Structure formats: structure tokens, C-alpha cells
Amino acid sequence: MKTIKDFNFKGKKALVRVDFNVPLDADFNVTDTTRLKAAKPTIIKILEDGGSAVLMSHLGRPKGVEDKFSLRHIVKTTSEILGVEVKFIAATVGAEAEAAVAALEPGEVLLLENLRFFAEETKGDLAFSEQLSKLGDVYVNDAFGTAHRAHASTTIVAQFFEDKLAGLVIEAELVNADKVLKGGVKPVTAIMGGAKVSDKILIIEKLLDVADNIIIGGGMSYTFAKAEGGSIGGSLCQDDLLEYVLELEAKAKAKGVNLIFPVDNFLGDAFSNDANTQIVLRGQIPDGWEGFDIGPKSIEKFSEIIKNSKTVIWNGPMGVFEIPLYATGTIEIAKAVKDATEGGAFSLIGGGDSAAAINNLGFGDDVSYVSTGGGALLEYMEGKTLPGIAALQA
């Protein structure tokens, strides 16, 4: 796969698929600029080479043209972050867009209107893709978050270009995921959490080949506890997977991978910040109570393993971290990952909620890499081919 580092954009117009799907408040202010900042190095490299950049993105899930999803709302913030005036055109394809691109000078940036104003985008429509391809001499994809979708702008459009390149975000995402997938420095510890076992089955299966330790916390851990004969009260459980998780435990044992479970659980009698609480040993949750976090002994045990690891991958919170009462486990595990990183370990935080958790808790700068792609990272780690990546290699 060629990246933009292998290319000189002098005199070229680069059609760049960025991920500007940012959250907006009621007054259309951007409330999280992470994705805009992430796209900056790729755009600046194009401009510094003497090229110009035509940016295309989706925003939200509009049904046809809906002004509240117009990308014009983010023009000011994007200009400030890039340090370059971003020109905006209220067209995505067609004569008007083509004229705006033709008028673009080296060093200039043009943002097109929301791709998803056209149903053709998510359908991966060939004619729409061909129209998009008229808006640049070279194609760059830097939207890792949508690389697992075969949409017009992320995948289909690539076939119309001789030069199709990965941007720096996509390159960094793959390089960092490969640091774990292609055999990280040992010991390798995976921390898995979140609500459901079913969401994580494929990735856990994959991790069995590369990890020394797999820590299982969060809501998903209670299915294992119940399968082992424990009492879990009203905690989350996927009863259809009780047999499967025991098979998974046996598979891990056969491969010499340590599956590590909480030793205790922090219980609440309600999904709220002023619930009554108690701490009990794993598998001893009384009726009327739910496990909403890992307990102190688990924190101690998990932290010790994490701090002694040289590679750490984390996906999914240890408890209901959105409620402060149940956030302790996730915060303490974040601290352990931070300590491991400071001690020289490589740490990768991936998958939507985990990235949000680590950023909201203020640990985003204390780990090696926080992935920008939720579903895309998971699919990549599961070993699936991402259409957006494959299109750059074709």
C-alpha cells in the first residue's frame, strides 16, 4: 500500500476522504475536535508539497439533504485547526463542484458538502463514484473510521485513480494495530471489557494467537462466571453463550494463554449514582444486585499483570464508567496502562467506547496510541479485509 509519504503533491489536486463526522451541539459548535486534528498532518503535507486538497466527508446520518448535517457548520473550526482558510461549497458532485475544484490554487483547501446527502454514497454507487473522481488528480483515503465500509468515497472511487494513497491516520492505525497483531513484545496482555461477549468473540479468538494474558472484565465477564457455576444476580449475561465461553476457556488453556477474570465485583442495587453498593467475591452475587464494576482485589490483580506487560491492548471498560460510582475499575486500569506505558510498554486503546473512556477520563496522552476507528479497528483485528484498505492496494 502506498502512503502519502511516497508521493509529491506539487501541482496536484488531491481528493481526500477525511473523517469529519464530529459531534455538534445545539448551536452547531464542534464539541470534540479529535478527528479534525487527526486529519491535519495529511492535509498539511499535501499543501506543503505545493498541492491543493479537496476534502470530502460524511456528517451524521442525514436522510437526503438536511441543513443540520451540513458540513458548512464545521468550516470555521476546521480553518482554525488547520491554520488555513477552508473554502466550502454547497455541492458534493457535479458542475458546480468541478468548477470550484478547477479554480483551486496550490496551497488551498476546499471542503465539499456532506457525502451522505446522496443515498448513492452508502450504496457504493459506481456513477456517483465516477463523478467524485472528477474532483481530484490523485485519491487519498484518511478516514480509518469508515474503512470497513464499501461506500463510494471510501472504496469504489479508488478504481478511477492511478494514484491512490493512504493518509497518515490510516497508516498510523494499521502500523499500531500490527504492533499487536503481528506479535507484540512479550508479555502481551489484552484487556477486554464492555457489555457483551458476542461483540468480542472474534477478536478474543484472534488474540489467543498473540496474547500471553487476556483479562476479561466489564459486563461480559458475568457470562463466564455463570457458565462456571457462579451466582451473578441480575448482572448482564448472554445465556446463549454459556457453552461457548467454556469452550473458549478450554481453548485458551490448550494454547497456554492465561484468561484472567475478576476475583471480586462491585455491586449496585440500581443503575444509578446513588445506589446501595457492596463488594463480593466473583460468582457470589445475591439476587437483587448487579455487578457494575470490578472490585478492589481485581483492580490489584489486573494492575499487577498490566504493569508487568510489554504490550497492552485495551478494548472495553471494566464497568459502567459513565456513572462515577462505577467508574473506579476503569480509572484504575487506565492508571495501570499509563504506568506500563511510562515503563516502556506499547499500549493501544481501541474501539469506540474505550477511546471515549480513556479520553474522557483524561488518560488519552498517557498511552501509546488511541485508535480513531471503532468498528474498523475491531474488524481489522478480527482479521477481516477492510474494503477501504483493499481498494488502495488494488
Quote the distance between the C-alpha of residue 210 and its chain's center: 20
The nearest distance, CB 195 to ligand AMP, in angstroms, is 4
Applying CB under 6 A, the span of 75-83, 175-183, 190-198, 246-254 interacting with ligand AMP comes to 190-198
Scanning 74-82, 277-285, 302-310, 314-322 for contacts with ligand AMP by CB under 6 A, the matching segment is: 314-322
Burial of 202 (0-12, 13-18, 19+ CB in 10 A): middle
Q: Is 317 in the site for ligand AMP (CB under 6 A)?
A: yes
CB 55 within 8 A of CB 104: no
Cell 487519498 belongs to residue: 140
Is 234 in the active site?
Answer: no
Distance of CA 221 to the CA centre of its chain: 22
Sign of CA dihedral 261, 263, 267, 273: negative
283 binds ligand AMP (CB under 6 A): no
- Shortest distance, CB of residue 219 to ligand AMP, whole angstroms? 3
**320 contacts ligand AMP (rule: CB under 6 A):** yes
Three-state secondary-structure class, residue 18: coil
Pick 81 or 195: Cβ nearer ligand AMP: 195
The footprint of ligand AMP on residues 198-257 (CB under 6 A) is 199, 218-219, 236
* Order of all β-strands in the sheet with 213-216: 258-260, 213-216, 188-192, 311-315, 346-349, 369-370
Interatomic CA distance for residues 167 and 169, integer angstroms: 6
C-alpha 210/C-alpha 205 separation (Å) is 10
295 binds ligand AMP (CB under 6 A): no
| Per-residue binder mask for ligand AMP (CB under 6 A), 166-185, x = binder | --------------------
CB of 76 to ligand AMP, least distance (A): 32
Nearer residue to ligand AMP within complex by CB, 324 or 343: 324
Nearer to ligand AMP, 295 or 317 (CB): 317
* CA–CA gap between residue 79 and residue 76 (Å, rounded): 5
Q: Is 196 annotated in the active site?
A: yes
Q: How far is the CB of 189 from ligand AMP (least distance, A)?
A: 17
Among 121, 142, 173, 353, binds ligand AMP (CB under 6 A): 353
Which stretch in 87-95, 166-174, 316-324, 333-341 sits in contact with ligand AMP by CB under 6 A? 316-324
Clarify whether 352 is annotated catalytic: yes
Query: Edge-to-edge, what's the strand order for the sheet holding 13-17?
Result: 86-88, 109-111, 52-56, 13-17, 138-141, 164-166
Q: Is 350 an interacting residue with respect to ligand AMP (CB under 6 A)? A: no
51 touches 101 (CB < 8 A): no
Catalytic annotation, residues: 35, 196, 352, 375
Site residues, ligand AMP (CB under 6 A) = 194-196, 199, 218-219, 236, 291-292, 316-317, 319-320, 322, 353
